[in-house]
Amino acid sequence: MLQQVRRWFRQIGLVMVLVSFCWLGAIAPAHSFNNPELLPAEPTNVVDLAQILTPVQKERLDSELAEFEAQTGWKLRVLTQYDRTPGLAVRDFWDLDDRSILLVADTRGGNLLNFNVGDTAYRVLQRTFWVELQTRFGNQYFVRDNGEDQAILQSLHAIETCLAQGGCRAVPGLPQEQWLLTLATSIFGGIILGFVARPRRADQKVAWTWILLFSPLWGMLFFAFGLGPVLVRTQEWLPVLRNVAGFALGAIVAFLIPAPSGPPPVLEE
C-alpha cells in the first residue's frame, strides 16, 4: 500500500514538472526575425526575394517609387518574400518613418498582400481603405486571374492615387462584380417601389402613403447600396446612369404588372 502511494506521488510530481516546463515555454518571449543578410548591398526601393516581378518591372517600379517620394514626400517600399524574411532589418535598411508605407507580398498566406503603415499615412488612409485594398487585390481569385505582379502594381497605383489627392474614403476603381451587385440592389429597390406604389382604391392612381412608408427600404437599397458605392469609387457616369435606369425599369415593371385577382364571388341562390 505504501509503495503504491509513493508511486502515485512520483507520477503527480512528474506531471507537475512537465506542466511547469510547458508553462515556461508558453510565456517565453518570442524572438522577432532579423536577417539583414537577405537585403541587397545597394540601395533600392524594391526587394523582390520571391522573384515575383520581372527585372524590367522591378527597375521601372523602383524608379516610379523614387520619383513619387521626391514629388510628394511619401515613402513607398515593396518587399516580396517566400520562405525567408529579413524581418525587422527592413526598418533600418529603408529608414521607415511615419510617412512610410511598406507593402509586403508573402506567397505563403491566404492573402498575398500585407501593409505596414506609418502613423501619418494611417491618418490619411484609414483602416477601411487598407482592408478593402487587401481584399480586392490580394485575394486568391484576383491573383489567379491577374497574377501576383499585377496585385502588387495595381495596389501601389491605388495608394499613389489616393495619397496624391490627400486621401480616399474607398479604393478607387469599380470592379465588375461589385458594380453588378450595386445594379442588382438598384433594380430590387425599384421593384419594391413599384409594388408599394400600386393604387389600393379605385379613385387612386399612385399610393403615395405606401411609397413614403417603405421609403427607408427602397431608399436604402437604391441610394446607400446602389449609388453610394459607385459615386465613391469612380467618377464615370455610365455605371451611375445604368443603376438609375435599372431602378426606374424595376419600378415601372413592378407597377404595371397586373395584380393577381381573387376568386370570383359566389352568387347565393
Tell me the pLDDT tens digit for each residue of 59-111.
999 999 999 999 999 999 999 998 888 988 999 999 999 999 999 999 887 89
**Domain final residue pick, 134, 164, 194:** 164
- Do 73 and 135 reside in the same domain of the chain? yes
The domain tally of the chain equals 2
Report CA torsion sign: 47, 53, 59, 65: negative
Does residue 9 register a pLDDT over 80?
no
**Domain final residue pick, 113, 129, 164:** 164
For range 144-170, the mean pLDDT = 95
Q: What is the pLDDT of residue 266?
A: 52
**Domain final residue pick, 112, 138, 164:** 164
Does residue 261 register a pLDDT over 70?
no
End-to-end CA distance of the chain: 101
Which domain covers residue 110, as residue numbers?
37-164
Does residue 16 register a pLDDT over 60?
no
Q: What is the pLDDT of residue 58?
A: 97
Does residue 160 register a pLDDT over 70?
yes
What is the model's pTM?
0.72
Q: What is the pLDDT of residue 154?
A: 97
Q: Is residue 188 part of a domain?
A: yes
- Do 74 and 135 reside in the same domain of the chain? yes
Q: What is the pLDDT of residue 126?
A: 93
Q: Poorest-confidence range of 55-64, 156-165, 203-212?
A: 203-212
- Do 146 and 46 reside in the same domain of the chain? yes
Does residue 32 register a pLDDT over 50?
no
Cα distances from 151 to residues 38, 87, 240, 243, in angstroms, run 23, 22, 27, 28
Cell of 97: 518613418
Chain segment 103-154, per-residue pLDDT in tens? 999 988 789 999 999 999 999 999 999 999 999 999 999 999 999 999 999 9
Q: How far is CA 183 from the centre of its chain?
A: 20
Residue 115 CA to residue 125 CA, distance in Å, equals 12
Q: Is 151 exposed, middle or buried (0-12, 13-18, 19+ CB in 10 A)?
A: buried
Chain segment 247-258, per-residue pLDDT in tens? 999 999 999 988
Q: What is the pLDDT of residue 220?
A: 96
Beta bridge partners of residue 101, listed in sequence order? 76, 117
Residue 129 CA to residue 126 CA, distance in Å, equals 6
Report CA torsion sign: 84, 87, 89, 93: positive
DSSP 8-state symbol, 267: P
Q: Is residue 7 part of a domain?
A: no
Q: What is the pLDDT of residue 25?
A: 36
Give the confidence band of 232 by pLDDT, cuts at 50, 70, 90.
Answer: confident
Q: What is the chain's mean pLDDT, rounded?
A: 86
What's the chain's Rg over C-alpha atoms? 30
- Do 141 and 79 reside in the same domain of the chain? yes
Does residue 267 register a pLDDT over 60?
no
Q: Is residue 214 part of a domain?
A: yes
Give the confidence band of 7 by pLDDT, cuts at 50, 70, 90.
Answer: low
